[in-house]
Chain A
């Protein structure tokens, strides 16, 4: 089976006014169709930079990123991003217009077709009643649902999610994780999901890439397909959680010791 997304030997660097920071160093991983591929690591492991590189916003200084065999060079609507920040939705567009915007801007669909597609995905995330609302009238969780509907309506090759639930309260976050899994069950899209929460990684992911911090290097790739919310607190779940925790914690001991 050929991978959908092939990241090989990717080193990412960015400049601050004083330093040239290496965010990730020679990272390899492969994402296959219908994977829920989670990139997990503490802050400073370059996981967000990695996602931005796949999104085409950041150029690797070494290595290459291939999507369906083609090298990723610039942002494009075949890789739709869902960001953590609530201001990712243009405030001057209603929920429906927001979901239609990428469809029409990329020339994929127009007019009636775009509207029908938008409505069906808005219904999928349970916002039928808010089609004509503006983003400022919505709660944080509803805004993230719109962002997810917007990304899914494009039916992209891969969905890129950058800690999409991190700014939500714990109850809403749990609900959104369940809904995302429900949507995946229905549509079977491929998603690359970045998080710093071990629990979220195990619940959401089918496969977990663990990164070490400063700079991000691949520490492990683990299987997590058997766990959802019902597994939380179970013995196997806790064993995996402890295993990942120890992996990340071991780094800190090294760094300090």
Chain B
């Protein structure tokens, strides 16, 4: 049985059928959970919640997933308090509580990991995984990342598409692509060096606008200003903004405010970069 489980662990591709199956591969859940077991379960749930928060899942998903994991492991209830920098989690079983706190280390946005944690939660609900297996799998999460050059190419293409949607011609399209590609590569390089996100946004926006301003100087395409405007659109903090409002709609007002403020600061940082570049260009006399 143990060997089978290990084999199962290495075969990480969960099929959709499996996630939807009702068959239980484990024995029926124990009706009694010892204190140590409860602590272990709580640690696993806290890890899952921490991962979801670090990779920018919305608060409702964090709340639901931790609660479902707790129920699936046979606990009476899991209560969670979310702040913008930490999660506090209490699990309850037969009037015995275990409380634990995890700080959040922001990792940027990664939907692959959010998906993976959600799938693990469902596998636990189907009684396919036990605590030890879930711990193993959460500790060894290996979600493939896309190649950074490919990502930069396509993000640049996105900006170029925006310029088209705003009415730019093909010259503007090409120039926007090139400008945002360079800016995106710089952004990736700075992120890799673990710089503060605000610094990254400031420098990226500055570079993109500065390069874009030359297009205005040479008067390329039908609307050269579009190159400056759309190549910084890759920096719009869309994810925090949408998450902020959905958190507030679903009752997590404080977290929503924190996210909104983060997004505003990021926009401010990029705008500072844009303004600085424009003023330099005007000082140089080519804009």
Are A and B associated in one complex?
Answer: no
